[in-house]
Amino acid sequence: MATKKTENTDVFSFSAFDPTKITETYRDFAEKSMLQSREGYTRMKTVAEDATKTAEATLENAQAGTVELGLKAIDYMRAHTENSLSHMEALLGVKSVAEVMELQSSFFRKQMELGADHAKSMQETSRKVADDVSKPGKSAMDKAMKEAKSVTANAA
């Protein structure tokens, strides 16, 4: 009996298997993965550099603000001290109790006015320093939100 060769006999043949196609597929996959990794690294590096710049700007503004507030405080102490010394000198030359009372009233009024002016000035300076210190962080947050919206819009 002669055996007939049928098409089913080549079922286990690897003649249809082309290893170059698999190699190309893996190569494409590896290249895409590498590109995505590079893009991710670049984005992370940029974010880290931006964060560092923001932190540096914030610290510089905080330092400058601290110096400004410290110098103002020294000026206010100097003004109060000079006012007190002037008052003591004036008291040494009084001739009556009425003069003492007038000098004391004038001195206290002047000290209160100076104190109110200094408090108002320190409050304004503190607000300005707080704004300056928070400005880099606000800018970074605005930039991040804008980029996030852009990424979201592009993804949709």
Mean pLDDT, contiguous 10-residue spans, the chain (156 residues): 52 61 83 91 88 91 94 94 94 93 94 94 94 90 83 71
**Which residues form the domain of 50?**
22-138
Nearest to 50 by CA among 128, 150, 146, 152: 146
Token pair belonging to 128? 């300005």
- Asked if 90 and 103 count as a contact pair (C-beta separation under 8 A), the reply is yes
Nearest to 57 by CA among 142, 138, 126, 125: 138
Q: What is the pTM of this model?
A: 0.64
Residue 90 inside a domain? The answer is yes
The Cα 91–Cα 71 span in angstroms is 30
**What pLDDT shows up at residue 12?**
57
Residue 133 inside a domain? The answer is yes
**What pLDDT shows up at residue 142?**
87
User: 3-state DSSP call for residue 92?
Assistant: helix
Residue 154 inside a domain? The answer is no
**What pLDDT shows up at residue 14?**
58
Residue 75 inside a domain? The answer is yes
**In residues, how long is the chain?**
156
Domain count, the chain: 1
Burial class (CB in 10 A: 0-12, 13-18, 19+), 139: middle
